[in-house]
């Protein structure tokens, strides 16, 4: 039985080490046949980009022995070998332009030695151009440039004051690619985010972005068919539907896809855990959610134009775009309005939903808070819902809001927003894996939130103390509960009022509805 290729990003290691491999080599042939020189692919981290880049490297380098049994074995001209220059920012963190230039210098020298050429120039862009020209001259073939995680130096410093300095350094380096076009066969860049052309690729205006091209939608990630065939030996006694709910669901205008890292870790450990999420969530992303007063329940129902998704600028970061490109949101459906194309977005799967909301909740705790206190609160919330004891929610959430450090309210007015408190209720329920309907519509209006279990429905209405309307009475007057009467479940109506001065719950009321009396 072949091994699981956990943390394997080189095709030679996979083939020679007898590891499983999902054949993506047809995409390589398609890219070359399309006759474009410059390509860009955006995908979330740990989604198979690095392995695909190395597979490209091996194909252009003519390493035929690695493609036995794969699509490319009989669909590639192995008589031609190209000089390949590989650049990656996957390892380590660059803190400033000096370190970035030092990294460039190291990479260029490493590529020069690998291709058997000697570099004499010192200025980094000139040195890069020299490397390309000398490789092409020596091999009598144009060079192939493969750049993995081109944007990592920017993402690592996105909220730092020196981000523009790093942007200019990267832009100067990448500008060489256009000037050297006569000596280039193929250029492929990957990253998480596509920064606007004015930010990075101002001079590389002929870059073909395949991130949302239907033909290349499945270029990275694992389809359902691949999951059930390539990994068949590991699927004994595995609940396929549950695995699908946890780790499938990514979509880039093609098949629904599993996150490769999650699949490999789950099949190795056979436990349902947020493997991908635990590998690192950018702090700046959470800071933006906090700063922008982002209404967390909106994660369930976002719509955005395609041209907005394709890129964003450092100067004006669109949080929705960043959430999509980073893998916390994905495409649910596509539709057109006039001449414009739009996407409805969704959270991909259970892992991301639980992981993201759990992370957001923990962000509100003070640094000195104890794990056992958080665990007890999680249990209290979970059993309040699962055991139909809504009265226990009041004490649980009062304890939580009381634990939020006062620094959270300094120099901002989030305590005045009903959405702030609603977001935290949503995050708690989502982190527990409950089915939630935020801003749940009925024929009489819109309830703030409903939580649905196998035997009950909890209908929530939230108000600020300054609002003269009573939250519970609104649910009853608008008869929101009628939507769920036919389901023959116990229905709880819960009205909650918040005091912006006390920064906590000031009123908690609930009633139980007997459906047979409705």
Residues 199, 237, single domain; the answer is no
Contact 461, 472 (CB under 8 A): yes
Residues 60, 170, single domain; the answer is yes
pLDDT of residue 363: 74
Residues 66, 128, single domain; the answer is yes
Kindly state whether residue 4 falls inside one of the protein's structural domains: no
The whole domain housing 428 covers: 366-517
Question: CB pairs under 8 A, 24+ apart, for 6-12?
Answer: 6/264, 6/265, 6/268, 8/51, 9/50, 9/51, 9/54, 10/51, 10/54, 11/51, 11/54, 11/55, 11/58, 11/66, 12/58, 12/63, 12/66
How do beta strands 143-148 and 84-88 pair? parallel
Residues 164, 33, single domain; the answer is yes
- 463: CATH: 3.40.1350
Kindly state whether residue 281 falls inside one of the protein's structural domains: yes
Last residue in a domain, options 216, 251, 277: 216
Phi-psi region of 96 (alpha: psi -120 to 50; beta: other; left: phi over 0): beta
| Cα Rg of the chain (Å, integer) | 26
Number of domains in the chain: 3
Residues 226, 299, single domain; the answer is yes
Kindly state whether residue 6 falls inside one of the protein's structural domains: no
Kindly state whether residue 5 falls inside one of the protein's structural domains: no
Question: pLDDT (tens digit, 0 to 9) for every residue of the chain, 518 residues total?
Answer: 999 999 999 999 999 999 999 999 999 999 999 999 999 999 998 999 999 999 999 999 999 999 999 999 999 999 999 999 999 987 778 889 999 999 999 999 999 999 999 999 999 999 999 999 999 999 999 999 999 999 888 888 877 888 889 988 998 999 899 889 999 999 999 988 876 654 666 666 788 999 999 999 999 999 999 999 999 999 999 999 999 999 999 999 999 999 999 999 999 999 999 999 888 666 667 777 777 767 788 887 788 998 887 666 676 778 888 889 889 999 999 999 988 899 999 999 999 999 888 888 877 765 555 677 778 888 999 999 999 999 999 999 998 888 776 655 555 555 456 777 888 899 899 999 999 988 776 666 688 899 999 999 999 999 988 887 899 999 999 999 999 998 889 999 999 999 888 889 999 999 998 765 55
Last residue in a domain, options 313, 330, 363: 363
Count how many residues are written for the chain: 518
497 DSSP β-pair partners:
463, 507
Residues 261, 156, single domain; the answer is no
Last residue in a domain, options 329, 347, 363: 363
């Amino acid at each position: 039985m072949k091994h699981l290729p956990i943390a394997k990003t080189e095709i030679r290691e996979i083939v020679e080490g007898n590891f499983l491999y999902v054949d993506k080599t047809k995409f390589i042939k398609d890219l070359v046949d399309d006759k474009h020189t410059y390509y860009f692919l955006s995908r979330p981290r740990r989604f198979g980009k690095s392995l695909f880049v190395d597979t490209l490297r091996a194909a252009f380098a003519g390493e035929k022995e690695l493609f036995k049994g794969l699509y490319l074995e009989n669909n590639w001209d192995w008589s031609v070998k190209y000089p390949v220059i590989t650049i990656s920012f996957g390892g380590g963190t660059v803190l400033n332009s000096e370190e970035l230039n030092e990294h460039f210098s190291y990479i260029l020298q490493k590529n020069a030695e690998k291709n058997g050429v000697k570099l004499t120039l010192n200025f980094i862009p000139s040195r890069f151009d020299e490397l390309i020209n000398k490789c092409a001259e020596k091999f009598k073939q144009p060079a192939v440039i493969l750049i993995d995680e081109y944007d990592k130096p920017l993402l690592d410093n996105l909220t730092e004051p020196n981000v523009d300095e790093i942007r200019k350094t990267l832009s100067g380096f990448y500008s060489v690619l256009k000037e050297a076009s006569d000596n280039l066969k193929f250029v492929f860049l990957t990253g998480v985010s596509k920064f606007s052309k004015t930010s990075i690729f101002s001079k590389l205006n002929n870059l073909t972005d395949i991130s949302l091209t239907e033909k290349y939608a499945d270029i990275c990630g694992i389809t359902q068919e691949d999951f059930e065939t390539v990994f068949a030996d590991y699927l004994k006694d595995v609940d396929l539907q549950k695995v699908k709910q946890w780790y499938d669901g990514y979509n880039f205008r093609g098949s629904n896809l599993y996150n490769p890292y999650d699949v490999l870790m789950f099949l190795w450990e056979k436990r349902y855990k947020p493997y991908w999420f635990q590998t690192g969530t950018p702090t700046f992303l959470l800071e933006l959610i906090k700063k922008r007063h982002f209404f967390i329940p909106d994660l369930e129902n976002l719509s955005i134009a395609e041209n907005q998704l394709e890129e964003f600028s450092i100067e004006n970061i669109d949080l929705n775009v960043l959430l999509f490109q980073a893998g916390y949101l994905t495409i649910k459906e596509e539709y057109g309005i006039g001449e414009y194309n739009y996407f409805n977005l969704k959270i991909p799967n259970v892992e991301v939903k639980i992981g993201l909301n759990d992370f957001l909740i923990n962000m509100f705790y003070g640094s000195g808070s104890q794990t056992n206190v958080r665990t007890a609160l999680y249990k209290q919330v979970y059993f309040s819902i699962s055991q139909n004891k809504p009265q226990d929610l009041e004490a649980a959430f009062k304890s939580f809001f009381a634990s939020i450090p006062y620094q959270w309210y300094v120099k901002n007015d989030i305590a005045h927003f009903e959405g702030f408190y609603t977001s935290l209720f949503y995050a708690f329920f989502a982190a527990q894996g409950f089915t939630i309907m935020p801003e749940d519509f009925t024929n009489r209006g819109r309830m703030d939130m409903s939580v649905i279990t196998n035997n009950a429905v909890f209908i929530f209405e939230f108000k600020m103390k300054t609002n003269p309307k009573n939250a519970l009475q609104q649910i009853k007057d608008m008869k929101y509960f009628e939507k769920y009467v036919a389901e023959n479940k116990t229905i709880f109506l819960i009205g909650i009022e918040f005091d912006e001065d006390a920064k906590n719950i000031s009123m908690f009321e609930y009633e139980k509805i007997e459906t047979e009396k409705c």
